[in-house]
Amino acid sequence: MRRLMTEAEASIRTGLAASTLQKQRVRGDGIPYVKIGRSVRYDSDVVDEWLDARTVSSTSQAIAS
């Protein structure tokens, strides 16, 4: 079953401030999200994939946007 997280939960999971997640949604460059009515939810699997894509082992590695 799909696990949808609130913005606050996604903020804790990613270490990003809720305001950063909000700004990323406006710009369209953040974590993909689900809109249900006026509520914003983040799929926990998508959040994990987004984090995995930004995992590096060296400071010289480029981070995907």
Helical ranges in the chain per DSSP H: 7-14, 18-27, 44-53
Would 44 be classed as within a structural domain? yes
Which residue range(s) make up the domain with 32? Answer: 4-53
Would 64 be classed as within a structural domain? no
Rounded CA-CA distance 50/39 in Å is: 21
- The DSSP output letter for 25 is H
Count of C-beta atoms within a 10 Å radius of residue 47: 19
Under a CB-based contact definition with an 8 Å cutoff, are residues 14 and 47 in contact? yes
Residue 26: per-residue pLDDT: 97
pLDDT (tens digit, 0 to 9) for every residue of the chain, 65 residues total?
789 999 999 999 999 999 999 999 999 999 999 999 999 999 999 999 999 998 888 888 766 55
Q: How many domains in the chain? A: 1
Q: Which residues contact residue 22 at a Cβ distance below 8 angstroms, ignoring those fewer than 6 apart?
A: 7
